[in-house]
Amino acid sequence: PLSEAELVLLQMCRDCTAHLLGRKLFEEVTQALLKSQVPLAPAPDRTGPFGMFRPGTIDYTPHHQTIHTVLQALDQGRVLRLAYRSIEQDKARALWVQPLKMFSHREALYLHARLVKRPGHQGAFKPEFDPLLALHRIQKAELTEQTVDFPANYDFETFFNRHFGVIKGEVFEVEVELSGWAARYAAERTLSPGQKVSRVDAETIRITFQASSEWEVMGWLFSFREHARLIRPEALVQEAKATLERLRALYP
């Protein structure tokens, strides 16, 4: 039996991730918590202390079966056949993948996977990259009978949590100057292990960190508006200038 304190912590985890679970999975978790609550004294009838801010989040209710299928494939070491439509494509394409890890990032669920040879493929097969798939863009997930050993050298922490950006391209160093509230906000966070933070003056800091996605660095930079100035890399500084010119053209 769970203690009351343990149950409260589980309720916090449930309520703070409700947007990632979707209605059906949320109900399953709630039912499990209710079973664990039986040995405890009846709780007062009131709203719990935890909540979730939902605007802008994805509704995962229609994807509960996909989540279950992916978890089953991970547990059994089986290959998945997916119908997947990326944000740039007009229609879904078939992928045969070995699921490696399901994780959350900025209010969305992702599946990191490894491409495997599709049935009937002739000749050598050596994929150039491991796809990163947005779970809500998987239109259909089917378990196949094919099994595959989990790669012994796979390290999620090393692959994803060493550089800024969930998209993994060539690693580069970023230097940016932040002022005012943006400086205080950024100083509270770790952008990459080993980042360097130095103070320019009472209201300004300079941060140097490693990143793997130019697109995500640009989005992060522009979210601070006039409170952020990119110093390097120079190529990205030029791209920032060009982006600002394109934005200016939208507001003559």
The pLDDT tens digits of the residues spanning 27-42 come to: 888 888 777 666 555 5
Predicted local distance difference test score (pLDDT) of residue 252 = 86
Predicted local distance difference test score (pLDDT) of residue 192 = 93
The predicted model gives 82-109 an average pLDDT of 92
Least confident range of 69-78, 112-121, 209-218: 112-121
Under a CB-based contact definition with an 8 Å cutoff, are residues 95 and 82 in contact? yes
Predicted local distance difference test score (pLDDT) of residue 53 = 76
d(CA 212, CA 223): 18
The predicted model gives 43-69 an average pLDDT of 79
d(CA 23, CA 221): 35
Reported as a pLDDT band with limits 50, 70 and 90, residue 237 is very high
Reported as a pLDDT band with limits 50, 70 and 90, residue 2 is confident
pLDDT top residue among 246 and 124? 246
Helices 18-37, 4-16: axis angle to 10 degrees equals 160
Predicted local distance difference test score (pLDDT) of residue 41 = 53
pLDDT top residue among 245 and 48? 245
Q: Is the pLDDT of residue 1 over 80?
A: no
Please name which of 109, 98, 96 lies closest in space to residue 25, comparing C-alpha atoms. Answer: 109
